[in-house]
Structure 1
Amino acid sequence: MPRPLPDLATAHHVLSVLRSSVDQAAAALAAQCTVSGKLDARKLDALQVPSFELAWAAAELLAAENAISLLRPDSRDLDRQLALLFAVDAATSVLARLDAIALDVDLPGDALRELRDDPRWHELRRAASDSRALDAAGDAVLASRGDLGILPLDEPHALAQDSFRRFSEEVVAPLAEEIHRENLTVPEALLQPLREMGVFGLSVPEPYGGSAPEDKEDALLMVLVTEALSEGSLAAAGSLITRPEILTRALLAGGDTQQQAHWLPKLAAGDPLCAIAITEPDHGSDVAGLTLRATRVPGGWKLDGAKTWCTFAGKAGVLMVVARTDPDRSLGHKGLSVLLVEKPSYDGHAFVFRQEQGGTLTGRAIPTIGYRGMHSFDLAFEGFFVPDANVVGGAQGVGKGFYYTMAGMVGGRMQTAARACGVMRAALRAAIRYSEDRKVFGQPLAGFPLTRAKLARMGARLAACRQLAFHVAGLVDQGEGRMEASLVKLLACRSAEMVTREALQLHGGMGYAEESAVSRYFVDARVLSIFEGAEETLALKVVARSLMERALGVQGSAA
C-alpha cells in the first residue's frame, strides 16, 4: 500500500520556496544583462544558456503551482496523486535548473539548501513518487482510460468538446493512417463537415459569420476543439484552425472595414482556406529580419523572394504574406507589411501559378517525417502582383505588418499547446490499451511495476499540461496571459515528445511500425516544439526576456 498522501501545505511550501528562487534568478540575470537600466541584446545573447534554464524553470513551476492550486478536499484521489507527482517531478527539475543558472550568476542559496535538507521535502518525494506511490498512480491511470486533467465546463463548452471528440473518433481517426502513410492532402471528406460544424469561424466575430463573441475572446473553446481534433490526427484535423485564426486576428487588428467585411465571412466559411507565409530560408523565427521584397508599382506591389515552411500553401486559396515594403533593412520589423495573396487551390505536392500580369508563384511541398496531410511548402515569388486592396490596413497598414502578425501569435501558441495535449491524450490512451492487451513473460504488460510507473508519469504530465492550458485560456479571455501562453506552449510541446516517446516504447517493436498509430503520434509530436515559435526562440526572446523585464520593473518600483 502507498503511504498516505501528505498535507497540501507541504507542496505549497516547496513551490513557494522555488517561486522565490526563480524570481531571484530572473533578477540576477537581469542585473547582468542591463545597460543603463535596459536589457542589452548582446548581454542577453551571452547568457543564453542560463536564460533558457530560467524559461524552463518558470514553465514547469507554473504548471506545478496550477495543478496543486486546483486540488480541493473533495478532489479525486487520482487527481491528487497526479498533481503531487507532477509537482515533485517539476520541483526536482527546477532545483536542477537553478543549480545550472547559479554557475553563471550569483544566487542566494540558503533557501534552496534548507529545502534540500527539509524532511518535509523528502517526505513529499517519497509519498508522491516512490515505487509504491507510482504503482498506485499507474493503476489509477489505467482505470481512468486516459481521461485526466478534467475541469468543470459549462454546458456550451461541454457540448462542443463532446461533439468534436466524437467527430475526431468517428471521422478523423479512421482516415488518419492513410493520410499519413500515403502522404495525402487533407480530403474534402474531412474539410466539408468541419466547415459545416463552423470550425473555421471560431475566432471570427458573430457579425461576420463566425461564432466568436463580439466583446471578448473564447480561447477555452478554441483549446477544447483543437485538442479534440488533434487526438484524431494532428495534421489532418488538429492544425486546421490555427491559420484562419492568425489571419482573422491580423484583420481584426489592422484591416479596414472593407477588408474585414470581405474576408472574415470567407474565412469563417472555410472558403477559401488560408495559409500563413512568414518564415524565410535564411531567417527562421527572426521575423524582424525578413527580406521578401514588396516593390511599389502602379496599383499595388510586386513580390520577389522566397518563403518556406508555409503550411497548407497548396490547398489554400489565400496566403497571408509578411513582406518587406520598405527596402531600408535597418528599420527591422517596422519595414514589414501584411499582403493577402490570392491563388487557386491545388491538391498536389507542387504547383505553379502564373498571373495574367506576368508574375509567378511556385510551390513545392517539403518531405517531412511526420505532420503529413497539410504539407509545408517552399514558395518562390517572381514579380507577383498584389493589389493595394490586399494590403492589410491599406495605406495606413504599410509598415505595421509585424504588429498585425503578432496579434495572432498568442492564439496560435495556445492552439499549439492544445494540439500537444490532444496528441498526448491519444498516445496515453493507446499505451493503456496496448499494455492491457499485450502479454509478456506470462502476464499483461500493465501488470509490471515499471509499466505502471511510466503510465503514472505520462498521466501526470498530460493532466498538468491540460489544466495549465485551460487556466491560461481563461487569462487570454480576460485580455491577459501573453507570456503564460508562451509558457504553456513551451511545456506542452516538449511534454508531447516525452509522452509519445514512452507510449511508443511501451508498444515495443509494434510501436516502430507505421501501421501502429503511436508511431504517427511520435513523429507528429516532434514538430510541435518547432513551429509557432521554435522552443529556443520562445524561451529566450519571449519568456526569459519577459521574466527579466518583470524583475527590472519590480526593482524600479521599489527604488
Structure 2
Amino acid sequence: MTATAVKLEKSQAEKALQAQASLLKELTQRLAKKNSDNGKVSVSKMDKTQHVFYQLAWMTAQQRVAENFIVYAWDSSKGTGELEQKMALSFAGETVTNIRSELSARPAEYELTYQEIFSKLYTDEINAYVEAAAKIDNYTEIVDKIVDLGHFGAYGLSEDHENFRQIFKDFAENVVVPRAEHVHRHDDLIPEEIINGLKDMGCFGLCIPEKFGGIQPDDRPDNISMLVVTEELSRGSLGAAGSLITRPEIMSKALLKGGTQEQKDKWLPLLASGERMAGIMVTEPNYGSDVAGISVTAKEVAGGFVINGVKTWCTFAGYANLLLILCRTESDPSLKHKGLSILLAEKPSFLGHEFNYKQEGGGVIQGKAIGTIGYRGMHSYEVSFEDYLVPKENLLGGEAGRGKGFYFQMEGFAGGRIQTAARANGVMQASLEAALRYAQERKVFSKPIYDYTLTKFKIAKMAMIVQATRQYTNYVATLLDNHKGQMEATLVKLYASKIAEWVAREAMQIHGGMGYAEEYPVSRYFVDARVFSIFEGAEEVMALRVVAKDLLDQALSA
C-alpha cells in the first residue's frame, strides 16, 4: 500500500449503503403516495415526471448491485479474498457518490429536502469513506493485483458450475472466436460448426427438464447454468454464439408454463436436441414493448388458425423452423392483452437474408433481414404473414390457453431478460480482457499505456463493474430458481445493459485509433453492446413500466 492510500473497512461501506437505502425507501414511499389514486399506482401521474421514475429505477439498480457486491466479497464460500473486497469497497463508494449527487441535484422532485439529504448522506463518516474510496491508489492497487493474480476476481460458482463454465469457455475460444470476426464483418449467418457443436453439447436443452430431453434437473430450475454458458458464449461473440440459446429458452419456458402435456411431450424434446430451432415473434412495426396493442391476427378456421399481419425484429427467423407467435385471437380490441394467444408455427429453415415460403393451401410467410450495425450472425427479420395456417393443436395451452398468451410470454421474458444481463456480462468481460491486453502491449511516450494512472483507473473501474454486475445477475438467478425475482430480472437487465456500453466504450478508447478499426474485435464489442438497452424490452419501458411501478406498488402495499 502506498503512503497516501487509506484502508477501507466493510463497516464503512455498509453504513453508507444502509443510510442511502433508508432514504431511497423513504422517497419511494412519498412518490408512491403522490402518484396513486385510491391506493393504486397511477401510471398517468407517473408519466408527468418520467425522468424522476427513470432515475428511481436506475438508482435502485445501482444500490442493489452495490449491496450484493459487498455480501459476495465477504462470502468465503465464493472463493473471494482481498481483491474482491477492495473492488467491492471502492464500487460501493462510487455508488454512494452517484446516488447522493443525483438526489442533491433535484431534491424537491424526489419529495425530499436538502436538509434530509445532507443530514443522512453527507455525514462526516460517510464523507470520509467516500473520499477514501475514491483515491486513485485504491484503483491502481486493484488493477495491479489483477495482473499479479492473473484473473479479474472469483466467479463464485459451485464446482459443477465452474466445470460447466470452463467447458463452454474452451468452446468459445476454440470454435467461436476464430469465426466471430468473419460473421460480423460479412454479416454472415452463424456457421454450422458453432450450431452443431452446441447441439452436441446439449446447449439448447439448458432450460428444459431432463424428462423432456434437456439437461435441467427435473426437480428444480437451474438458471445459473444458463447464465454461465450465455456469458462465455457472448464473450466469444454475441451475434455468432451468445444469443443462440435465448430463443429456445424463451419458448421452452412458455411451453412449461402454459403448454398442454401433449405439447410439452412433442416440442420440448425437439427444442432440446436442436432439431427444432426457435424463433420468437412478438414485436410489430407499431408495437414494441407495448405488447397489449399487438395487431397481428389469428382467425379461427376449419382445422386451425390463419395468421395475417407483420412482425418485426424477429431474430433468427430465417434459420428457425419453429416460431412462437404472439397474436390476437380475439377480435374485441377492448380485451387488449387478454385477447392475445400464442401459436407455434412450423416453417422450413432458410439460409441468407431473405426467405419466402408458400404452404400447399396458399398461405404465405416471407421475411427480409434488417441491416444492423452490430449483433450480426442470427439476422433480425421483418416477417409478413398472409393467411398462414397453423393447426389448432398448436395453440399453446389448447383452448384453455386462449387469451393467455401474454402471461405465457411474460414467463419466457423474465428468463430472457436475465439472460440479456449475462450476455452483457460476456461482452463486458471480453472488452475488459481486450483493454488490459492492449494496454500492456501498446507503448506511448516510451512506456506501456498500462503504466499510466488514468489507464489503470479505467481498467480497475471496468473490472469492478463487470464483477459487480455478474454477481448480482447470479443472485437474481437464485431468486428465479425459487420462483421469485421477476422485477429483479428486469432490474439487472436494465443495469447490465446500460453499463455495458460504458465498459465497451472505455475499452475502445484505450485502443485509441485501433479501437475504431475492424482489425481489433473491441470495435465489435462496442456496437454489440449498444443493442442490450433496446432488445428484450427497451431501457425506458423497463425502468418506468416495470421497475419503478413495481417499487411504487411495493411501497403502497407495505
TM, length-normalised to structure 1: 0.97
Contact 2:343-2:394 within 8 A present in 1 as well: yes
Question: Alignment partner for residue 16 of structure 1, among 15, 18, 31?
Answer: 18
Deviates more, 1:504-513 or 1:488-497: 488-497
Q: Which runs of 5+ in 2 are unaligned?
A: none
1:131 to 123, 136, 154: 136
Tell me what 2:62 maps to.
60
Any residues of structure 2 matched to 1:61-460 within 5 Å, and which? 61-72=63-74, 75-99=80-104, 102-107=107-112, 109-148=114-153, 150-460=154-464
- How many angstroms does 1:141 deviate by? 3.4
Deviations 1:147-172 (A, max 9, x none): 33x24322221110110011111111
Partners of 2:107 and 2:113 within 8 A in 1: no
Find the aligned partners of 1:185 and 1:83 in 2 and give their Cα distance.
40
The farther-off stretch of 114-123 and 422-431 is 114-123
Deviation string, structure 1 residues 190-231 (Cα, Å, up to 9, x no partner): 001100101000011101100112221101111111111110
Q: Does the 8 Å CA contact 2:164/2:225 hold for their aligned counterparts? A: yes
Q: What is the CA distance between 1:56 and its match in structure 2?
A: 0.4
Q: Distance in 2 between matches of 1:25 and 1:341?
A: 48
List per-residue Cα deviations over 1:333-375 (Å, max 9, x = no partner): 0000001111111110001111111111110000000000011
| 8 Å Cα contact 2:104/2:117 also seen in 1 | no
CA contact (8 A) 2:295 2:309 kept: yes
Alpha-carbon distance between aligned partners in 2 of 1:414 and 1:101, rounded to the nearest angstrom: 31
Match of 1:461 in 2: 465
Distance apart, 1:47 and its partner CA = 2.4
The one-letter code matched in structure 1 to 2:408 is Y
Q: 1:336 to 1:117 in 2, by over 3 A?
A: closer
Task: Classify 1:73/1:55 alpha carbon distance in 2 versus 1 (closer, same or farther; 3 Å).
Answer: closer
Confirm or deny: 8 A CA contact 1:50 1:101 kept in the other structure.
Answer: no
3-state SS of the aligned residue for 2:350? coil
Q: Distance in 2 between matches of 1:357 and 1:99?
A: 65
CA–CA distance in structure 1, aligned partners of residues 139 and 255 of structure 2: 49
The verdict on how the C-alpha distance between 1:211 and 1:318 changes in structure 2, with shifts beyond 3 A counting, is: same
Deviations 1:370-410 (A, max 9, x none): 00001100011111111101111111111110011011111
Identity of counterpart residues, as a percentage? 45
Alignment of 1:36-47 (within 5 A): 36-47=38-49
> Deviation digits for residues 101-145 of structure 1, max 9, x if unmatched?
634242255452124542222322232221222222232234455
Distance 2:102 2:274 in 1: 45
Q: Distance in 1 between matches of 2:466 and 2:168?
A: 19
Do the aligned partners of 1:54 and 1:101 also contact (CA within 8 Å) in 2? Answer: no
Partner Cα distance (1:99, 1:128) in 2: 20
- The structural deviation recorded for 1:71 is 3.0
- Cα distance in 2 between the residues matched to 1:153 and 1:454: 26
Quote the Cα distance in structure 1 between the aligned partners of 2:104 and 2:287: 33
- Asked if 1:487 corresponds to 2:491, the answer is yes
Deviations 1:279-327 (A, max 9, x none): 0010111111111011111111111110000000001001100000011
**1:7 has 2:9 as partner:** yes
How far, CA to CA, are the matches of 2:308 and 2:106 in structure 1?
44
> What is the DSSP-based 3-state SS (H/G/I as helix, E as strand, rest coil) of the residue aligned with 2:285?
coil
* Equivalences, count: 553
Equivalent position SS for 2:383: strand
Task: Name the SS for the 2:377 alignment partner.
Answer: coil
The normalised TM-score by structure 2 is 0.97
The aligned counterpart of 1:28 is 30
1:261 offset after TM fit, Å? 0.7
- Structure 1 101/358 Cα, relative in aligned 2: closer, same or farther at 3 Å? farther
Query: Residue 144 of structure 2 aligns to which amino acid in structure 1?
Result: D
Provide runs of 4+ in structure 1 moved above 6 Å.
Answer: none
Please give the alpha-carbon distance, in whole angstroms, between the structure 1 residues aligned to 2:298 and 2:19. 52
Which 5+ residue runs of structure 1 have no aligned equivalent?
555-559
TM-align CA RMSD = 1.4
Q: What is the aligned partner in structure 2 of residue 503 from structure 1? A: 507
Please tell me whether the aligned partners of residues 278 and 322 of structure 1 are also in contact (alpha carbons under 8 angstroms). yes
Q: CA deviation at 1:258?
A: 1.0
Contact 1:33 1:40 in 2 (8 A): yes
